[in-house]
Copies of this chain bind each other. A is one copy, B any other.
Amino acid sequence: MYRFASDYQEGCHPRILKALTQTNLEQTVGYGCDPYCDTARDLIRAAAKAPDADVHFLMGGTQANATVVSALLRPHQGVLCAETGHIAVHESGAIEATGHKVITLPSADGKLTAKQVEDFINDHYADANHEHTVQPGMVYISHPTENGTLYTRRELYDLSRICRAYHVPLYMDGARLAYALTAGGNDLTLEEIAAKVDVLCIGGTKCGALFGEAVMILKKGLKSDFRYLLKQRGGMLAKGRLLGLQFLTLFTDGLYTEIAEKANRQADKIRDALKKSEFPLLYQGNSNQIFTVVTDDILAVWNESFAFDVWGKTDKYHTVIRICTSWATDDEAVKELIDAIKNAGA
């Protein structure tokens, strides 16, 4: 049984484990104030060409999202996001638990458009009773989205322009950012992203770390007192160096990119096999997540050898599955899966 269900089924990239092992007996101060965290912050700022950004390390994505949203909003404000957004769907109401509404906009592919955001904000203020409704206070996007799709440079720049015109901060949840930066067809660099969003979460957990997310606060006015919020929301790790060491390793010698490139290549091979066998690819995009539809008979056979993430049913006899690759995805397992795809398609 080989698991293609997600990109967080193994431990971490061996170089990270090595870094943890080599430094295990060293003494450092806690709470993210150690030299490893400082170095990791510098490396991230350099990679994003954002020398003035604040960088904070948190343990997980739900925590990072709730902490950022609660840091940016006043109580009467909500966060705009695609109806498929992780914060809208899969975080057990973490945002609402901080007091804020997640305002969802329709999306077929997981992306928001600049026009949707602009129209929503204009409609809000055009309503004579807008004070009776939740004020749009920030915009959340995920990149890649939960459907594996990617914003183009044009799309992100348009969103950023609208957000800035209306003074509404733009937050990008990059839980799988590495896979976006290295996907075929991607036209956005980390530097360009950092120039256009106001807060950016650079994911570690799904990109080769044991755990950890790096939150970059790029806009000056949003920086103050974030460490209080880190602590309050449970995200300030006592042995904070564990986060510093992991991101330091990921951002040394291009490991963050290398990890994602390998995963994307494996995904490309599987995508090719699915296309050849005429299985549908549900969304555009060449990152490490693949969504397809299979008959339940085929799925039953595949499930003897492979685990996938079940995404839903299209009808009584068909299931949407997600196939996910990672730094650890085994060549042999990919070959076996491709054979299974060929057999099923025949």
Contacts and interface: CB of A to CB of B under 8 A. Distances in A.
Given A92-B76, A93-B232, A99-B97, A29 B9 contact: yes
Contacts of A96: 78, 96, 99-101, 134
A238 interface: yes
A232 B94 contact: yes
A71 interface: yes
Which of A12, A14, A92 has the most chain B CB within a 10 Å cutoff?
A: A92
A345 interface: no
Nearest to A128: B310
Contacts of A90: 129, 132-133
A47 B310 CA distance: 37
Contact of A234 (B6, B14, B27, B94): B94
A89 B133 contact: yes
A93 B100 contact: yes
A339 interface: no
A210 B245 CA distance: 13
A337 interface: no
Number of copies: 4
Contact of A8 (B2, B70, B230, B238): B238
Contacts of A71: 74-75
Interface stretch (A221-229, A253-261, A273-281): A221-229
A61 B239 CA distance: 12
B205 A92 contact: no
Contacts of A94: 231-234
Nearest to A11: B24
A17 B14 contact: no
Contacts of A242: 11, 210-211
Contacts of A9: 27-30
Contact of A93 (B78, B97, B239): B78
Given A67-B234, A94-B233, A128-B310, 10 more contacts: A2-B27, A10-B24, A59-B211, A75-B98, A92-B133, A92-B232, A96-B96, A97-B99, A211-B242, A234-B235
- 10 closest A-B pairs by beta carbon, nearest first, are A63-B234, A11-B24, A76-B228, A92-B232, A92-B231, A93-B134, A96-B101, A9-B27, A131-B227, A3-B27
8 contacts: A11-B24, A11-B242, A59-B237, A62-B234, A96-B101, A97-B232, A131-B230, A131-B231
